[in-house]
C-alpha cells in the first residue's frame, strides 16, 4: 500500500484529455478554431480520452468531428502537457490534468458545430508574429519593456532577445513562436503570468494578444512553430488547399502561415523546381489580370524527393 503523504489540497485524480489546435487557411488569414469557456476565455477544443477509442488519434478525430463538424486532414501530436499546476479548466479547484496536444489541419473552415465555437486569426493571439506588412506595431511596443527586463539578466538576457526577437540586426526566426511567448511570459508581459503567478504588468491587448484558458496559448504557439517549420520540408500546406488553386492563392497561404512576404517569381520558381504542383488544364480569372492557370498538388513528389517543401527566405530586422 502506498502511504506517501499527500500534500494538503492536492488533487486525488489525474484527468487525461486531448487538446487540438485545428488550423484552416481562409483568404489571407491562418485561422484556428476556438471555443469559449464558462469563464469567458478563449480555448482550444478539448475532450477526454475515452476507453472505446482504438488509438489517441482516432479519439481526437472522433470527438472533434462530432462536436465541431470539422473533418480533420493532417494530424500530428505535438507535446504532452502535465505540469503540476495544470488544471482541466481555468476555474478554481479544477482537477489536475494531463493533456496531449495536437496540430490538426482542415481544408475548409466550416461553420463550427457548437454555438460557442468560432474561427479566429491566430494573429489575434500572437500579433507580434505577423511580418507580412513589415515590422508589426506590437514589436515596437514590446521592445522597451523587453529590453528593461533583459537588462536585469545581463548578457544572457540580451542574447535571448537577439535570438528570439531578432534585435540588433539578428535574423528573425519565424519558427521560434513558443520561445517568444515563453519569454514574454517570463517577463510578465502577458496576462497568463498575472493569472498564474499573481505578478506582472501585461501590456494592452493589441500588443500582447488575447489571453487563452489554461495553457492553450502555449499549445497554439507550439502548433504554429511546428507548422511553420514543417512547410519547409514536407508538403503539408496542401492539406489546407482546395483540390485546385492558382499559384497566387498558394503563395498567399504560405505567407499567411509563415508571417512573411515572399518574392512572387522566386516562389513560383521554387514550386516548379520542387515538382510540387501540376496544371489541371483549366484557368480562372483573377482580379485585375489575365486568367490564371489552375494547379493541383502532385502526391508523387513524396516518393520523388526527400524534403519536398517550400523554403522561406532568411529575414533580418532593420
Give the CATH number for residue 81. 3.90.79.10
Residue 220 lies in a domain: no
**89 pLDDT higher than 60:** no
pLDDT (0 to 100) of residue 250: 95
Q: What is the DSSP letter of 219?
A: H
**25 pLDDT higher than 80:** yes
Q: What CA–CA distance (Å, rounded) separates 207 from 216?
A: 18
Q: Where are the beta strands (DSSP E) in 147-224?
A: 171-172
Could you tell me which residue, 214 or 168, shows the higher pLDDT? Answer: 214
Q: What CA–CA distance (Å, rounded) separates 20 from 223?
A: 9
**Among 123-127, 167-171, 203-207, the least confident range:** 167-171
For 46, 185, 190, 199, the CA distances from 194, given in Å and listed in that order, are: 24, 9, 7, 5
pLDDT (0 to 100) of residue 317: 62
For residues 116 and 35, the answer to whether their CB atoms sit within 8 Å is yes
For 149, 199, 218, 285, 294, the CA distances from 186, given in Å and listed in that order, are: 9, 10, 13, 49, 47
Mean pLDDT over 120-138 rounds to 96
For residues 157 and 75, the answer to whether their CB atoms sit within 8 Å is no
Q: What is the CATH number of the domain that holds 257?
A: 1.10.10.10
pLDDT (0 to 100) of residue 16: 72
* Mean residue pLDDT across the chain: 84
Residue 304 CB contacts under 8 Å (≥ 6 apart), including other chains? 275
Residues 155 and 88 in one domain: no
Q: Is the pTM of this model over 0.85?
A: yes
Query: Residue 180's domain spans which residues?
Result: 133-209
Mean pLDDT over 90-110 rounds to 72
Q: How many domains does the chain have?
A: 3
CA atoms lying within 13 Å on the CB side of residue 136: 22
Q: What is the DSSP letter of 127?
A: G
Share of the chain above pLDDT 90, in %: 50
Residues 62 and 89 in one domain: yes
Mean pLDDT over 252-270 rounds to 94
pLDDT (0 to 100) of residue 7: 52
Amino acid at each position: 500500500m502506498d502511504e506517501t503523504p499527500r500534500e494538503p489540497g492536492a488533487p486525488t485524480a489525474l484527468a487525461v484529455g486531448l487538446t487540438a489546435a485545428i488550423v484552416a487557411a481562409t483568404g489571407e488569414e491562418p485561422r484556428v478554431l476556438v471555443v469559449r469557456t464558462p469563464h469567458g476565455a478563449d480555448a482550444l477544443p478539448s475532450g477526454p480520452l475515452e476507453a472505446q477509442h482504438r488509438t489517441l488519434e482516432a479519439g481526437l478525430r472522433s470527438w472533434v468531428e462530432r462536436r465541431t463538424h470539422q473533418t480533420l486532414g493532417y494530424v500530428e501530436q505535438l507535446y504532452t502537457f502535465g505540469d503540476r499546476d495544470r488544471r482541466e479548466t481555468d476555474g478554481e479547484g479544477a482537477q489536475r490534468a494531463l493533456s496531449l496536444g495536437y496540430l490538426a489541419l482542415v481544408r475548409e473552415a466550416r461553420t463550427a458545430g457548437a454555438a460557442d465555437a468560432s474561427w479566429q486569426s491566430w494573429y489575434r493571439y500572437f500579433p507580434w508574429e505577423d511580418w507580412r506588412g513589415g515590422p508589426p506595431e506590437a514589436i515596437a511596443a514590446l521592445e522597451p519593456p523587453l529590453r528593461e527586463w533583459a537588462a536585469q539578466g545581463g548578457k544572457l538576457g540580451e542574447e535571448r532577445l537577439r535570438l528570439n526577437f531578432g534585435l540588433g540586426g539578428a535574423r528573425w526566426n519565424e519558427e521560434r513562436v513558443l520561445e517568444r511567448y515563453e519569454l514574454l511570459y517570463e517577463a510578465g508581459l502577458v496576462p497568463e503570468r498575472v493569472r498564474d503567478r499573481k505578478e506582472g504588468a501585461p501590456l494592452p491587448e493589441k500588443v500582447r494578444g488575447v489571453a487563452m484558458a489554461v495553457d492553450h496559448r502555449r499549445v497554439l504557439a507550439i502548433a504554429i512553430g511546428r507548422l511553420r517549420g514543417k512547410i519547409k520540408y514536407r508538403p503539408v500546406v496542401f492539406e489546407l488547399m482546395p483540390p485546385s488553386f492558382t499559384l497566387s492563392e498558394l503563395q498567399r497561404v504560405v505567407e499567411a502561415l509563415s508571417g512573411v512576404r515572399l518574392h512572387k517569381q522566386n516562389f513560383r520558381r521554387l514550386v516548379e523546381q520542387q515538382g510540387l504542383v501540376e496544371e489541371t488544364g483549366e484557368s480562372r480569372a483573377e482580379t485585375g489580370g489575365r486568367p490564371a492557370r489552375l494547379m493541383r498538388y502532385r502526391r508523387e513528389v513524396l516518393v520523388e524527393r526527400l524534403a519536398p517543401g517550400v523554403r522561406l527566405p532568411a529575414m533580418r530586422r532593420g
